[in-house]
Structure 1
């Protein structure tokens, strides 16, 4: 038995996505972060982005500093390790050594051992 809506055209495929009529203004935090990026990089922040949250977000993504690379770039953060150690004490388990060298593995260990 299938359910079909009683409202004609409710799930019609020809509708598609509709653009937002009024763009939302950028938040104060977004503007502060964008200005900080502009100062550090020396790139001018376009004035027309202040009124469009999505456009400012795209500008921030394009101009923000890249994450540092290198030998220790994939190591878990100190907060992640501290959280995992708290869970290990509660569960009375050891954290596998390889988790201390890979943030993805540490995240999976935390997810799998989180107290319920």
Structure 2
């Protein structure tokens, strides 16, 4: 004798399928960014991707320039440093020296000190 659990309605055709939503069109900002990438790299944007937000996002991810590597790759950007300095002035605090050599530490300092 075997035990077979019964879950009514679990595998019956009575269940309605979830509605499939139409793909959303790409945003203007997304299209402009894709066009700038295409101009720089010489790649062509497929027609199907320009009308579908998810497809264009995949194309952008595949063709966007890679982040620069090297000695200063982990340093915070100038915008990040400027934002942190602005917060430091508002809060009358010093930014730890280590934050200027690690973008992750700078980001955590910013998140912990942002004015609310």
TM-score over 0.5 (shorter chain): yes
* CA–CA distance in structure 2, aligned partners of residues 89 and 33 of structure 1: 34
Root mean square deviation, CA, Å: 2.4
TM value normalised by structure 2 = 0.74
Superposed displacement of residue 111, structure 1: 1.7
Unpaired segments ≥5 residues, structure 2: 1-8
Matched residue, 2:6: none
* CA–CA distance in structure 1, aligned partners of residues 80 and 19 of structure 2: 39
* CA–CA distance in structure 2, aligned partners of residues 26 and 58 of structure 1: 12
* CA–CA distance in structure 2, aligned partners of residues 105 and 47 of structure 1: 42
The equivalences for 1:94-109 within 5 A come to 94-109=94-109
Q: Of the two, which has the highest radius of gyration? A: 2
Matched residue, 2:28: 28
Q: How many matched pairs?
A: 103
Unpaired segments ≥5 residues, structure 1: 1-8
Superposed displacement of residue 18, structure 1: 4.3
TM value normalised by structure 1 = 0.74
Superposed displacement of residue 94, structure 1: 1.7
* CA–CA distance in structure 1, aligned partners of residues 23 and 108 of structure 2: 38
2:54 is paired with a residue whose SS is helix
The equivalences for 1:1-116 within 5 A come to 18=18, 20-116=20-116
Matched residue, 1:4: none
